[in-house]
A and B are shown apart, each in its own frame.
Chain A
Amino acid sequence: MRLAIASLLLGLWAGSAPALELGVTWLHRVVPPPPVLSNLDPVPEDLGRAGAELGLRDNRTTGQFLGHSYGLSESDVPEGGDILAVARDALAQSPFLIVDAPAADLLAIADLPEAQGALIFNAAAPETALRSGDCRANLLHTLPSRAMLADALMQGLASKRWTDLALITGPRDADHAWAEAMKASAAKFRLRARGEAVWDEAADMRRNASQEVPLFTQGFRDHDVLLIADEAHDFARYIAYNTWLPRPVAGSAGMMPAAWSRVVEQWGAAQLQSRFEELAGRPMQDRDYAAWAAFRALGEAVTRTGSADPAELRAYMLGDDFELAGFKGSPLSFRPWNGQLRQPIPLVTDQAVVAVAPMEGFLHQGNELDTLGLDRPDSACTQFD
């Protein structure tokens, strides 16, 4: 199958006429980040997109030796814009989409008549339901679900015997979803809840944390670790060292589970980090990694099959022979029951990797990576049968 996407190709492909061309669209819904107290870590404008661009470069380098050519077209849809119209146009050009958009957009795109038989990668939506009851046969997930992140964190805590947990949840929906994932995982690994509270402080914590946080945390029963659910990284950074009891924090500050972080440097990751820095001028983040992994997974499948047919590539990616070298110490592969990319989850601080889940001793009859997130019996997905 040859795709007429020459006009979309970024840059120039030097060489003789390629034997195979594969074009991918990176489709992005612009979602303004919620206001946060600190100015230290602005959300990069090219978050995710830079990862897809690195994936393009990596695939092209490989493709040049095989006569395979790759292209990437990028579409930003503003808030309120018609993402389905853009998706239809993109699907008319190529059946391969990497989507960085909220779950509702993602499902609407996957359900388009034009998307049947297409191959769509979710590189930004962490909702666990997308890997369960809301799964779609044409939708694969390279970003870990919240359940995978929570399981990684709880395995880390359990292996430290830090069993007693208190929890502060932020006010936003995403914070509640992340808190629910952590609570479910804590129950799964038999950790104990020692109190929880919803963060409702309006004061500027940059000035007030030392007065407010001790009072706020005084009511928790004794605990080993204080969990914080704050996906926008708004208030979580002001909690550590201001708590009533001297306890480590984890979740959205302190020790955090991550698909990717600049502190990952083992397993050849230093090379991926430096390639990314050179391209984007900033460290690689989780959504960059997910977009990179999506494009690389496609590239790997094209390399091994010599095909650009979405059905053939999907079958290969979901099969036993597929493996992607993802710079996290173990080969990455897709779960054939819900299309989620299996991957180790590092537990990181701002400055170092603390541990990498799955932790030693958390065993699985098939693949230990499946101790993270929805294992086959846990997933209500039936679209992949």
Chain B
Amino acid sequence: MTRCLTALCLILALPAFAGGEIWVTNEKDDTISVIDIDSMEVTRTIPTGERPRGITFSHDYSRVYICASDSDSVQVMDPDTGKILHDLPSGEDPEQFILHPDDRHLWIANEDDAVTTVVDVDSRTVIAQINVGIEPEGMAVNKAGTIVVTTSETTNMAHWIDAATHKIIANTLVDSRPRHAEFVKDDTELWVSSEIGGTVTVFGTESKEERARITFAIQGVHPDRIQPVGFEFTPDGKTAFVALGPANHVAVINAETYEVEEYILTGRRVWHMAFSPDHSQLFTTNGISGDVTVIDVASRKPLKSIKVGRFPWGAAMRPGAS
């Protein structure tokens, strides 16, 4: 009886421990779908500016920043009320951004303008614009906050920018159409996904030289359809999950050996992803099927599909009130 009760307590306690929400931008609906992680259901649909893509929260989760690409602005929203507090100047066609560790500077990729824009979210002013390659998209910043990377889709480069001086310090070539970048393993490595090239390139941060190039192969899927885009690392830095676009799978990579260990089936054209607060679940946005796949991280199995809006693109986690 006691054991039974304990088990019951655990079951009851688990959702409260996980809790939280996943916020998904719907590119073709001009909305955000808010998924409650406990119930795995959409609990709110919030209107945004035109063509929302990149989404991220301030460090205290009191504000959410949204790239409203076709409105040419970054919107700042109160996540409790869903009200737009104000717009930030963002440059033309903001697609993706990264919030600097100082919680104050947004680094924005302006896709149509070949520019990276730095915005001070407090003074709401543009601090700098940096010329980069054509169709900048992927944005990364290291934990130390000293280096920002922009990848440009048509120029096929990662541009390494000194965060203090706003000057480009290095340009490294990657395969075609780089989409997403992250500093990982305590800033020692930079990973960049190349959508058309079908690869992930790993750079040593210090040397800025290529350390590995990861390729993918899924039985029954044509190599051209394997198009790596968004990716996320487990907190221990040992495992990476890489969305493979129209291959409709997420690859699980051993980040120490750079070997692909497994492929997980998702909805169609899987784009970006976000972990639940306890990292036990991973939520992927599936652009074409208009849904989100929930993956159980431990078993590496898909648990559920959740219908959201049209062309879900970005995903960001908001922890529960606890």
Contacts and interface: CB of A to CB of B under 8 A. Distances in A.
Interface string B167-210: 01001010111000000000000000000110000000000000
Interface in A291-319: 300, 303-304
Interface string B125-140: 0000001011100000
Contact of A65 (B111, B171, B177, B197): B171
B155 A61 contact: yes
A229 interface: no
Interface residues of A, number: 21
A329 B177 CA distance: 11
A382 interface: no
Contact of B133 (A61, A271, A274, A304): A61
Contact of B114 (A61, A303, A329, A330): A61
Contacts, number: 58
A331 B176 contact: yes
B133 A62 contact: yes
B112 interface: yes
Nearest to B155: A62
Contacts of B154: 58, 61-62, 271, 325
A114 interface: no
A129 B176 CA distance: 32
Given A58-B154, A61-B133, A268-B177, A331 B171 contact: no
Contacts of A268: 135, 153, 177
Contact of B159 (A65, A300, A304, A367): A65
Given A62-B134, A65-B133, A331-B224, A323 B176 contact: yes
B157 A65 contact: yes
A300 B134 CA distance: 13
Contacts of B133: 61-62, 65
B155 A65 contact: yes
A254 B135 CA distance: 33
B222 interface: yes
Contacts of B157: 62, 65
B135 A271 contact: yes
Contacts of A303: 156, 173
A329 B246 CA distance: 9
A323 B197 CA distance: 8
Contacts of B131: 64
B171 A325 contact: no
Contacts of A274: 112
A300 to B, nearest CB: 8
Contacts of A331: 176, 196-197, 224
A325 B196 contact: yes
A368 B222 contact: yes
A331 B168 CA distance: 29
A325 B174 CA distance: 13
Contacts of A329: 224, 246
B112 A275 contact: yes
A325 B153 contact: yes
A147 interface: no
A112 interface: no
B112 A271 contact: yes
Contacts of B156: 62, 300, 303, 325
Given A58-B134, A61-B114, A324 B222 contact: no
Interface string A306-349: 00000000000000000111000111000000000000000000
A323 B246 CA distance: 18
B224 A330 contact: yes
Interface in B292-319: none
A308 to B, nearest CB: 17
A65 B150 CA distance: 13
Most buried by A among B154, B168, B175, B224: B154
A352 interface: no
A325 B176 contact: yes
A292 to B, nearest CB: 11
A53 to B, nearest CB: 14
B87 to A, nearest CB: 21
A187 interface: no
A66 B196 contact: no
Interface string B262-301: 0000000000000000000000000000000000000000
Interface of B: 111-112, 114, 131, 133-135, 153-157, 159, 168, 171, 173, 175-177, 196-197, 222, 224, 246
Nearest 8 Cβ contacts at the A-B interface: A65-B171, A62-B155, A325-B176, A330-B224, A325-B196, A325-B177, A331-B196, A61-B134
